Amino acid sequence: MPPALDSIDDPTSQSLSERKRILDAAKQALQAKMRDFHLSSDALAKDQPPREMIDKDAAGRLVGIYQAMPPRQAAAIFDVMDTHILVGIASQMDTRHLSAIMANMSPDRVNLISQFLVGVRTFPSHSVSSSEKAFSKKGQMPQMAPLIPSRQ
C-alpha cells in the first residue's frame, strides 16, 4: 500500500512546501501593505481640498474672450475644446452668453457639458506630486491626468 502523501519526506516536497509557505507569507504582507496604502490615500484625499482644473484668472480671461465672440464662432471652438477646460470656462460664463453658444454646438457636446455643469458627471480627482508642482511654470498648469480625447 502506498504511503500517504503527507508523510512523504523527500527533499522536493519539502522544498515545495517551504516555497508555498514563503509565497503565502509574502502575499499576506503585500495585502497588508495594499490595505495600508488604500487607507492612507483615502485619508489624504479627504484632507485635500478639491483642485481647480484651470486657473480662475486664466479662465476669467477666456470667458471674456468667448463671450465677446459671435456665438457660432465660439461654438465651433467649444466643440473641439478639451472637456476639462471647457467645463472650467462654461461654469464661469454668463448664462445668456453660454446658452447662445450652446445653441450652436453639437448636441452630443452640449449633453456632455450639461452633465458636468449640473454635477451628474465629475472628473476623477488626481493628486499632483510636489515634483510636478515644482516644475510647472507660471501660467502653465502641471499635467494632472493623462490626456483624454476632447470628444467623448
Question: What mean pLDDT value characterizes the chain?
Answer: 77
Look at residue 7 in the predicted model and tell me its pLDDT.
53
What is the DSSP secondary structure assignment for residue 53, as one 8-state letter?
S
Mean pLDDT value across residues 116-139: 59
Look at residue 148 in the predicted model and tell me its pLDDT.
52
| pTM for the structure as a whole | 0.49
Asked if residue 56 has pLDDT above 90, the reply is no
- Binned at pLDDT 50, 70 and 90, residue 43 comes out as confident
Asked if residue 60 has pLDDT above 70, the reply is yes
Asked if residue 116 has pLDDT above 80, the reply is yes
Mean pLDDT value across residues 53-77: 90
Mean pLDDT value across residues 109-138: 67
Query: DSSP string covering 67-83, please?
Result: HHS-HHHHHHHHTTS-H
Look at residue 134 in the predicted model and tell me its pLDDT.
44
